[in-house]
Amino acid sequence: MRSAVFHGREDIQVDEIAEPAVESDSVLIEVTAAGICGSDLHEYAAGPIFIPGDAPHPVTGETAPISMGHEFGGEIIEIGEDVDDIAVGDTVTVNPVLYCGECRYCEDGSYHLCESGGFTGLSGGGGGFSEQIAVSSEQAIPVPDDVPAEYAALVEPFSVGLHAVRNAEFSAGDSVAVYGTGPIGLTVVQAAKAAGANPVYAVEPQDARRELAAEVGADETLDPIETDAPEAIIEQSNGGVDATFEVAGIEQTVRDAIRSAKNGGSVTIVSIFEESIAIEPNEIVLGERTVSGTLAYEGGPKSDVEFGAVIDMFADGTLDPEPLITSRIDLGEIVDGFETLLGGEHDEIKILVEP
Asked if residue 164 belongs to a domain, the reply is no
Give the pLDDT of residue 169: 84
Please state, in angstroms and rounded to a whole number, the distance separating the CA atoms of residues 189 and 90. 30
**112 and 201 both lie in a single domain:** no
Please state, in angstroms and rounded to a whole number, the distance separating the CA atoms of residues 260 and 229. 8
Out of 275, 293, 311, pick the residue that ends a domain: 293
Domain with 105 in it: 2-157+297-353
From 158, 150, 212, select the one nearest 181 (Cα to Cα). 212
**52 and 149 both lie in a single domain:** yes
**13 and 135 both lie in a single domain:** yes
Angle between helices 304-316 and 155-167 (to 10 degrees): 110
Asked if residue 132 belongs to a domain, the reply is yes
Domain count, the chain: 2
Give the pLDDT of residue 274: 81
Asked if residue 22 belongs to a domain, the reply is yes
Please state, in angstroms and rounded to a whole number, the distance separating the CA atoms of residues 299 and 154. 16
**211 and 119 both lie in a single domain:** no
CATH number at residue 217: 3.40.50.720
**14 and 99 both lie in a single domain:** yes
CATH number at residue 321: 3.90.180.10
**149 and 224 both lie in a single domain:** no
Cα torsion 101, 313, 210, 207: sign: positive
Residues of the chain with pLDDT under 70: 344-345
**121 and 228 both lie in a single domain:** no
**316 and 242 both lie in a single domain:** no
List the beta strands (DSSP E) in the chain: 2-8, 11-16, 26-35, 66-67, 71-79, 91-94, 97-98, 118-119, 132-136, 140-142, 176-179, 200-203, 220-222, 241-246, 261-269, 290-293, 325-330, 350-354
Out of 266, 293, 320, pick the residue that ends a domain: 293
Asked if residue 147 belongs to a domain, the reply is yes
Asked if residue 162 belongs to a domain, the reply is no
**273 and 130 both lie in a single domain:** no
Distances from the Cα of 279 to the Cα of 42, 258, 269, angstroms: 22, 9, 13
How many CB atoms within 10 Å of residue 334?
Answer: 24
Asked if residue 331 belongs to a domain, the reply is yes
Q: Give the tens place of pLDDT for each residue, 299-319.
A: 998 788 999 999 999 999 999
Out of 274, 293, 312, pick the residue that ends a domain: 293
Give the pLDDT of residue 303: 85
What is the pTM for the complete model shown?
Answer: 0.96
Asked if residue 163 belongs to a domain, the reply is no
Give the pLDDT of residue 221: 98
Asked if residue 150 belongs to a domain, the reply is yes
**57 and 91 both lie in a single domain:** yes
Give the pLDDT of residue 345: 62
**37 and 140 both lie in a single domain:** yes
**23 and 153 both lie in a single domain:** yes
From 92, 75, 133, 30, select the one nearest 311 (Cα to Cα). 92
